[in-house]
Structure 1
């Protein structure tokens, strides 16, 4: 667990509950080594680039949390600097809830899931939209048919890798096809052999 994430997310209430549960001492040791920022490494960048969706939480002007699912081709969310990630914001239902929330409060929390491998990465940071054509073009996915309205850039403040406990493995159609391809090939060979023997 990264130290800045701990310092940012653990309020006094959480620390008091950790104390009561007996887990405070181990978290306090982790917090003691806090640096200026939790730096993204190639491990995080590779994980981020492999995702085809994520969840992004922002807060409304009235203080209500709003969680939005974002999806696209694998790699549509990517690291574009030492601690900056970004994605092209493609035209959607035109509610503009996240965009409006970020105009008032730029803090976001992202949840990135790898269900087959039971891994998740949580990120917190400051986000802003960009209408700069060069930035938007740099974040577009070649061959993807949707049209972007803007780019979102997120300066990551902290992140945390979670344990696999309670993550149910889920697979996409392509992942299932890849995993079952050897069995399908073997079945085809057996059918051909049976047809040959019967013929």
Structure 2
């Protein structure tokens, strides 16, 4: 993988950092944060996500951001620097698909709102129909009850763990069910017992 600072902190961005006195700090820090492939922290984080944001670019330079979601773990790490997931039937606008035909570069945000964590991924993406994609990869991603129309593959170029500041605290539904579910079940059981007792007293 490439150094995230070398890839993103260029031109006007670098000049602004120099003016603000942060350029050298970032150049030094990102040399130590760059690795050749996705590590255990990144792999585990990606596998636990149930959604991500994907930014692509139109052929005349407009950015476009799309949300992709699925069951937790729907994004698979299929190589040292490669991610893949199924692409399902949507609203048939084909904006991302069309953008990738002209420009393969993309940016992804993987968010963990509950723990205030954010992984940024710069990569090169391809979107192929199931019939055109690697058969082994199609089989590996084929566990969903809804068949995918296409396979999205992202070759990771650079990554960055972003500052957790200002990330709001949001709790995913499955986490809430795990924490609150037993309490709700207990309250429901107590409520049924109380209703039975009230009915018994009235009957007496």
Q: For the superposition of Structure 1 and Structure 2, which TM-score range results when normalised by the shorter chain?
A: 0.7 to 0.9
Q: How many residues were matched structurally?
A: 195
Structure 1 regions of 5+ residues with no counterpart?
none
- SS of the residue corresponding to residue 40 of structure 1 reads coil
Aligned residue number for residue 11 of structure 1: 10
Cα distance in 2, alignment partners of residues 127 and 43 from structure 1: 22
CA deviation profile, 1:29-85 (whole Å, cap 9, x unmatched): 1345686x6420121111111111111011010111011111111111111011111
Aligned residue number for residue 30 of structure 1: 29
Aligned residue number for residue 176 of structure 1: 176
- SS of the residue corresponding to residue 157 of structure 1 reads strand
- SS of the residue corresponding to residue 63 of structure 1 reads coil
Is this contact kept in 2: 1:3–1:33, CA < 8 A? Answer: no
Deviates more, 1:125-134 or 1:84-93: 125-134
Residue 66 (structure 1) aligned with residue 64 (structure 2):
yes
Displacement over 3 Å in runs of 4+: 31-35, 181-199
Greater Rg by CA: 2
CA RMSD of aligned residues (A): 2.5
Greater RCO structure (CA 8 Å; 6+ sep): 1
Give how far 1:192 is off: 8.1
Give how far 1:153 is off: 1.0
Aligned residue number for residue 132 of structure 1: 133
Is the alpha carbon distance of 1:33 and 1:46 closer, same or farther for their aligned partners in structure 2, counting shifts above 3 Å? closer
- SS of the residue corresponding to residue 149 of structure 2 reads strand
Residue 147 (structure 1) aligned with residue 147 (structure 2):
yes
Structure 2 regions of 5+ residues with no counterpart?
none
Matches within 5 A, 1:43-58: 43-58=41-56
Name the TM-score, length of structure 2 as normaliser.
0.83
- SS of the residue corresponding to residue 176 of structure 1 reads helix
Aligned residue number for residue 78 of structure 1: 76
Cα distance in 1, alignment partners of residues 59 and 174 from structure 2: 40
Deviates more, 1:6-15 or 1:78-87: 6-15
